[in-house]
Amino acid sequence: CPLHLDEVRHFLTLCPELSLGWFEEGRLVAFIIGSLWDQERLTLDALTLHKPHGTTVHIHVLAVHRTFRQQGKGSILMWRYLQYLRCLPYVRRAVLMCEDFLVPFYQKSGFKVRGPSEITVGPLSFTEMFHPVWGHAFMRRNSGY
């Protein structure tokens, strides 16, 4: 997981409604941590800030415990998370940054490449991706949209 435990706790405290976990027999086996962001592109501040009036969900991490990988849990959890985001009337898009080898995984979930991220960590560079979630009125029954 690219987040330290204190960062996970930070986002779970600020915006627990933007996180989702998968439990099996009482054990957390996969999770997504998100926060709101108020710009189209991610900046260094997006790594630590939650912007409560933002319309973009920054997906900080999708993590699957190593003994539960290669079982489709990451894809299923992401699908459920995106379905959930469609029910939140203030969310317009989801964004994330990932290493190049993960781009095909996120493309299978419907994410599109936006381009190179301006954020780097040491020698690591990232690709920024986005997924529109607004405009799916069929998922927002009785929401007034």
Q: What does pLDDT average to over the chain?
A: 89
Q: Which three-class secondary structure string do you get for 92-134?
A: CEEEEEECHHHHHHHHHCCCEEEEEEEEEECCEEEEEEEEECC
Catalytic residue, candidates 81, 82, 96, 106: 106
Confidence of residue 75 (pLDDT cuts 50, 70, 90): very high
Catalytic residue, candidates 36, 62, 77, 96: 62
Please compute the mean of the pLDDT values over residues 52-68 and round it to a whole number: 93
Q: Is-catalytic flag, 60?
A: yes
Q: Residue 138: pLDDT above 70?
A: no
Please compute the mean of the pLDDT values over residues 47-68 and round it to a whole number: 93
Q: Is-catalytic flag, 49?
A: yes
Q: Residue 18: pLDDT above 90?
A: yes
Q: Is-catalytic flag, 106?
A: yes
Catalytic residue, candidates 19, 35, 109, 117: 35
Confidence of residue 140 (pLDDT cuts 50, 70, 90): very low
**Residue range 5-139, CATH number:** 3.40.630.30
Q: Is-catalytic flag, 19?
A: no
Residue 67: the pLDDT is 86
Catalytic residue, candidates 49, 102, 125, 136: 49
In the chain, where are the structural domains located? Answer: 5-139
Whole-prediction pTM: 0.87
Catalytic residue, candidates 50, 58, 60, 131: 60
Residue 139: the pLDDT is 44
Please compute the mean of the pLDDT values over residues 41-52 and round it to a whole number: 93
CA 97 to chain centre: 9
